[in-house]
Amino acid sequence: MSLRINQTAPDFTAATTHGALQFHDWIGDGWAVLFSHPKNFTPVCTTELGTMAGLEGEFKKRGVKVIGISVDPVENHDKWKQDIKIATSFNVEYPLIGDKDLKIAKLYDMLPEDAGSSSEGRTPADNATVRSVYVIGPDKKIKLILTYPMTTGRNFNEILRAIDSIQLTAKHQVATPANWEQGDDVIITAAISNEDAIRRFGSFDTVLPYLRKTKQPAA
């Protein structure tokens, strides 16, 4: 069964480059990003994991932990890190899960169309995870799901942008418009009356009866 936004993220135990962990315990009281890549020692994945390593500080600023996963064994992850450093100049310091039995990949629906009920009935391509992204909140609920094909590398700045929106809108009764960036105007939700909007935000612009914009609230 597919996972959905606002569903509790499935918990699991896993072997990682940082040792064994229990996923919910590892998340703790903060936010987390779980992202999969198809296979170690491949070109697009190398650029992706290096890019994430370079942005890890930005995720930490937002209280977000990062963890990667593929069906490669943990020892394979450790060997690959040097290639990532050569290609991107960044050290991968966040944990990488080794999911060689496909348990977590199946739990999080990270595999392409299934060619069998077990690894024995699947081709090598079927066994590789697609490029999935799950953003999980402190309540352990899924806030964002993104899935990219194997040939398309992700824009991790977009994932940061989405997290900024999710964290902002979780705190204030606002939404963010298309192409929103930090500091841009936000949309006042329909749950807030005009009178309440003035009390909360001071002023706003009515573009349409159902579209009211105001300055981004302070964090």
Cα torsion angle, 138, 39, 132, 4, sign: negative
Q: How confident is the model at residue 51 (pLDDT cuts 50, 70, 90)?
A: very high
C-alpha distances in Å from residue 164, one per residue of 108, 120, 140, 144, 212: 24, 42, 18, 12, 20
Determine the Cα–Cα distance for residues 35 and 131; give it in Å rounded to an integer. Answer: 7
| Two tokens, residue 46 | 């190398």
Task: Give me the domains of the chain, ranges plus CATH numbers.
Answer: 13-153 (3.40.30.10), 172-214 (3.30.1020.10)
- HEC profile of 75-140: HHHHHHHHHHHHHHCCCCCCCEEECCCCHHHHHCCCCCCCCCCCHHHCCHHHHCCCEEEEEECCCC
Residues contacting residue 78 through CB under 8 Å, at least 6 positions apart: 17
- pLDDT confidence tier of residue 115, bands split at 50, 70 and 90: very low
Tell whether the model's pLDDT for residue 219 goes beyond 80.
Answer: no
Residue 113 has pLDDT above 90, yes or no: no
pLDDT of residue 1: 55
pTM (predicted TM-score): 0.92
pLDDT at 119: 45
Query: Per the residue annotation, which of 45, 64, 97, 192 is the catalytic one?
Result: 45
Radius of gyration of the chain (CA): 20
208 classed as catalytic: no
Per-residue pLDDT, averaged over 124-151, amounts to 91
pLDDT level of residue 186 (50, 70, 90 thresholds): very high
Mean pLDDT of 43-72: 97
Average predicted confidence (pLDDT) for the chain: 93
Q: For residue 112, what pLDDT is reported? A: 84
Whether pLDDT at 29 is above 90:
yes
Query: Which of the four pLDDT bands, split at 50, 70 and 90, describes residue 2?
Result: confident
H or E element that contains 51:
helix 43-61
